[in-house]
Structure 1
Amino acid sequence: MRNKAAQSKAWATVQIARHPERPQFLDYVGEIFTEFDALHGDRVFGDDGAMIGGLARFNGQPVMVIGQHRGRSTREKLQHNFGMCNPEGYRKSQRLMDMAERFKLPVFTFIDTMGAYPGVGAEERGQAEAIASNLARLSALKVPVIATVLGEGGSGGALGIGVADRVIMLSHSIYSVISPEGCASILWKTAEKAEQASEALALTADRLKKIGIVEYVVDEGAGAHLHPEQVMQSLKTVLQESLEELQTMDADERCEARYQRLMKFGSDNPGLAS
């Protein structure tokens, strides 16, 4: 276990990732992309406000953009279900991925969720199956896929749009299998140990880059909410560089590289013990 200062730093990152003024998905879409045209519905049950996606242009190139949006006001948070997707959200995103594959459009996904919605209705409509189907579809896409963690990346709710050729994190975002509070409740039977759990989870961008879970970390200074335009432009540059790198690769070569990227994850990774 690391020292107290390191634990406090990890917990401070959690607080910044959850800052109420932190830019959200639609803020980034408006700054980085042009001509965004949202597409709705999963063609099975309904439209999920937590998952937003559609066609856009990135530096003039047609692309597919998909992301989780939380909302700010109480009304917006309810409209977007606090960024927690139902199965129809994941099925909508898969429909858009299929469209991107058909028309050979690069896919950009943006992660910002506490996790998938755990309600009874979501489970009845096949939450786990919807996420699993997304994982399989993302693994097989021939087009480039770039995922970015904007704030919180929680559990399978985040991973449902997180399988990609390149994964980018903002420096004060977090990405983990469970929330610090949830982890603490399991390990120590109290959420009051969340600060300690945040360090144990290795959920910060710098540690995840060290162990190879993410490829790029975008510096946001003291927080993206303080200088949003600067952070968005920095992210746009990294997205452009990543896309150019991936587009030089043959589709089969890209898929094989994505597969190898996923297969290298595991307990034999020496960085996991650090």
Structure 2
Amino acid sequence: MNTKAKISQAWQTVQIARHPDRPQFLDYVSEIFTEFDVLHGDRLFGDDGALVGGLARFDGQPVVVIGQQKGRTTRERLQHNFGMCNPEGYRKSQRLFDIAERFNLPVLTFIDTMGAYPGVGAEERGQAEAIAKNLAILSGLKVPVIATVIGEGGSGGALAIGVADRVIMLSHSIYSVISPEGCASILWKTAEKAAQASAALSLTAPRLHALGIVESIIEEGEGAHLDPQTTMLRLKDELKKALDELTDMDADARCEARYQRLMKFGSANLENAS
């Protein structure tokens, strides 16, 4: 594939990942899980609508479910802060991680965010510390952890709930250290080069699978918004398969495998896969 075609394909994927009719976290919850009981607040500052989480049943098994919700109407988007979490959202997830560890419940996370909220208040309340603590906690959880990128996976805001034993991506989702517009603004001083940046960032599911960053890709045809039911059923099957494999592992062996998974990410591996 020539450079122009790669740029076009990557940018098209970005547009589909951001499609306004694309299924969001709570749509997946209603289809894949039952008895979803939402937990609110971080016991320090307040509740963050961008991150929704709680206890649920997956195929009859109790689990902890956490995800970023963007909202569709103007009212919903404001309520959920467009899916951009404040530190209280990540601290809410820390409460849920603690519950999962205490009661030996698998953790399933769903990523869909442009990134963590960059506002002054968020920084004052410890945004970076909250994200860093999430990374540390997820790295050491004894229970199985599965992360799924269902739309946008942007920067530390996504990674804060993305450290896992298995990472799954929908075929038209994206996962990157920065948004294409942000990357273009840094490299070329203009967001108009976002399409070119999207190709350079290697943010598509096939590319990240080739690099070993994600383990599985869920095929969604021309977009999950066109046939959400089929996509959700495929994801449910993949989640069940991954959870069965991880549950059969010894907890210490699972943690060691998670550590080794993270340690294999590096320049040598990326160079070999390029």
TM-score (norm 1): 0.99
For residue 269 of structure 1, give the secondary structure of its aligned residue in structure 2.
helix
Q: Distance in 1 between matches of 2:6 and 2:134?
A: 35
Q: Distance in 2 between matches of 1:164 and 1:114?
A: 20
Q: Distance in 1 between matches of 2:256 and 2:195?
A: 38
What is the CA deviation profile of residues 240-274 of structure 1, one whole-angstrom value per residue up to 9, with x for unaligned ones?
00000001100000000000000000111145662
| 8 Å CA contact 2:211, 2:273 repeated in 1 | no
Aligned position for 1:9:
9
Q: Distance in 2 between matches of 1:190 and 1:39?
A: 41
For residue 268 of structure 1, give the secondary structure of its aligned residue in structure 2.
helix
For residue 105 of structure 1, give the secondary structure of its aligned residue in structure 2.
coil
The number of equivalent residue pairs is 274
Aligned position for 1:118:
118
Aligned amino acid, residue 115 of structure 2: G
Closer, same or farther: CA 271–221 of 1 in aligned 2, 3 Å? farther
Q: Distance in 2 between matches of 1:174 and 1:128?
A: 22
Closer, same or farther: CA 272–171 of 1 in aligned 2, 3 Å? farther
**Displacement, 1:6?**
1.3
Aligned amino acid, residue 192 of structure 1: E
Aligned position for 1:97:
97
What is the CA deviation profile of residues 201-245 of structure 1, one whole-angstrom value per residue up to 9, with x for unaligned ones?
000000000000000000000000000000000000000000000
Asked if 1:235 corresponds to 2:227, the answer is no
Q: Map 1:1-274; keep pairs closer than 5 Å.
A: 2-270=2-270, 274=274
For residue 217 of structure 1, give the secondary structure of its aligned residue in structure 2.
strand
Q: Distance in 2 between matches of 1:85 and 1:166?
A: 23
The alignment-based identity, stated in percent, is 79
Aligned amino acid, residue 207 of structure 1: R
Q: Distance in 2 between matches of 1:159 and 1:72?
A: 23
| 8 Å CA contact 1:211, 1:271 repeated in 2 | no
For residue 147 of structure 2, give the secondary structure of its aligned residue in structure 1.
strand
Closer, same or farther: CA 72–257 of 1 in aligned 2, 3 Å? same
TM-score (norm 2): 0.99
| 8 Å CA contact 2:210, 2:273 repeated in 1 | no
Aligned amino acid, residue 107 of structure 2: V
Q: Distance in 1 between matches of 2:273 and 2:63?
A: 38
Aligned amino acid, residue 209 of structure 1: H
Closer, same or farther: CA 126–202 of 1 in aligned 2, 3 Å? same
Aligned amino acid, residue 27 of structure 2: D
| 8 Å CA contact 1:55, 1:64 repeated in 2 | yes
Closer, same or farther: CA 154–2 of 1 in aligned 2, 3 Å? farther
Q: Distance in 1 between matches of 2:179 and 2:12?
A: 14
- The two structures, once aligned, show a CA RMSD in angstroms of 1.0
What is the CA deviation profile of residues 163-221 of structure 1, one whole-angstrom value per residue up to 9, with x for unaligned ones?
00000000000000000000000001111110000000000000000000000000000
For residue 136 of structure 1, give the secondary structure of its aligned residue in structure 2.
helix
Q: Distance in 1 between matches of 2:41 and 2:3?
A: 48
What is the CA deviation profile of residues 13-58 of structure 1, one whole-angstrom value per residue up to 9, with x for unaligned ones?
0000000000000000000000000010001000000000000000
Q: Distance in 1 between matches of 2:181 and 2:224?
A: 23
Uncovered stretches (5+) of structure 1, i.e. residues with no partner: none
